[in-house]
Amino acid sequence: MSVENRDLPAACIWATATAVAVAVVGDGTPLRVLLGLPMAVLVPGHVLLRAIGIRTHSLLEHLVYAVGTSLVVGISGGFILNAVGALTPAGWATWFFLFVVTASLVAARRGGASYLPSWPRPAGFHLRHAVACALAASVATGAYVLAVRDEAKQQQYEYTEFSMLPSIDGGRLIVAVRSAEARTQRFDLEVTIDGHQLAAFRSLAMAPGDVWTREVPVPLLADPQKAEARLYRLEDERLYRQVTALVPGS
């Protein structure tokens, strides 16, 4: 293998490493991302350009064409994997591996297709420039972290979720309360069915983030029954939430 063609085995090694990573490395790990993203948007296009024998005249031109054709390779793979019922992580890894290896073999058999644009080394680039760029990356990352933090803290509405669902067999009612209020609140909760009290829970203290769930047994009748649950807020002694559910007949 000539020096100019070293990119082809490198692409094959990359494809192999990606396939192995998809099989054994956990989701979202930095290694999977570092291997997988270039495999989806750069490497297949690069070997395709080499296989066709397209000579590019600058690094920019090569990267732009490589990304463009990689996208087409990915889309084509989607149709092929769909046709064979293999649109899965393993299917994708196999597709890109087979494509890269095949295109590399075709490119290697081509005579005179070894041209690659050189990476332009920036003149006058000193340590202080690298430090400034690293600092810029840190500040930009800080901006993102700040945005995530502010989004997580945003709470325009303070509320309490109240819900009631009949179980699948109809023999129970699942009543739930979840607090997204700013402070702890106390509630009384009553459950009735066709106007008759079924259950009552007194002085429930719900702190922000608390979830309270109970299953209330329901006597099954031949006809459907209407269940109603009421949540009273003790602070102002008012009906705070009200939900209803239809319990199907037996």
Partner 1 sequence: MSMVPDRLAAGGRLNALPFWMRSVLEVIGPDLHGGGVDAPPQPASPGWTAALSLTVATALLLIAAGHGAGRRGEADLALLLFWSGIVLMVVPTSFRIVWPSVGRSERLVLLLLFAEGLFCLKILYSPTGFADYDEFLHWIAVDDLMTARRLFLSNPLLPVGPTYPGLEILATAIVDLTGLSVFAAGALLLAVLKGTFVGALFLFYERISGSPRMAAIACVVYMGCSTFVLFESMFSYESLGVVFCAVIFAAEAGSKDLVGGSRSKAFWLVAILLAGLMVTHHLSAVYAAIYLGAVAILEMLRHGASRREIGLAAALAGVVVGLPVLWSFAWGDPMVGYLGPVIETGFKALFHRNIQDTRVEVMGWPSEPLGMRLTTMAGILLLALGCATGFFRSLATTAVGAGAQPGWLAIGALLERRWRDSRIVFLTFLAFGFPISVAFRLNVSGWEIGNRTGTLAFFGVGLVVATSVVYFWQGPAARRWRVVAPALALAVIVLGGVTAAWLNPIQGRYRVGADAESIEPMAIGTALWTKERLGPGNRFVADRVNLMLLATYGRQDVRIFMGAGISDSRVYEPEELPPDDLYALKHGDVDFMLVDMRLSTGPPVLGFYFQPWEANAGEPLSPAALLKFDGIEGIGRIYDNGWIKIYDMRGLHER
| Window 179-208: residues binding partner 1 (CB under 8 A) | 180
* Piece of 98-106, 144-152, 186-194, 201-209 that binds partner 1 (CB under 8 A): 144-152
169 binds partner 1 (CB under 8 A): no
61 binds partner 1 (CB under 8 A): yes
Angstrom distance (rounded) from CA 249 to CA 108? 73
Give whichever of 3 and 83 is closer to partner 1, judged by the CB atom.
Answer: 83
74 binds partner 1 (CB under 8 A): yes
Contact between 97 and 16 under an 8 Å Cβ cutoff? The reply is yes
Q: Which residues have C-beta within 8 Å of that of residue 77, sequence separation ≥ 6?
A: 92, 95, 96, 99
Q: What is the dihedral of CA 68, 71, 75, 78, to 10 degrees?
A: 160
One residue of 82, 102, 184, 250 binding partner 1 per CB under 8 A: 82
Residue 201 Cβ vs partner 1, minimum distance, rounded to whole Å: 17
221 binds partner 1 (CB under 8 A): no
28 binds partner 1 (CB under 8 A): yes
Contact between 188 and 201 under an 8 Å Cβ cutoff? The reply is yes
36 binds partner 1 (CB under 8 A): yes
Helix or strand or coil: residue 216?
strand
Helix or strand or coil: residue 1?
coil
One residue of 148, 200, 205, 207 binding partner 1 per CB under 8 A: 148
Give whichever of 1 and 24 is closer to partner 1, judged by the CB atom.
Answer: 24
Give whichever of 217 and 248 is closer to partner 1, judged by the CB atom.
Answer: 248
Q: Which residues have C-beta within 8 Å of that of residue 203, sequence separation ≥ 6?
A: 186, 187, 188, 234
147 binds partner 1 (CB under 8 A): yes
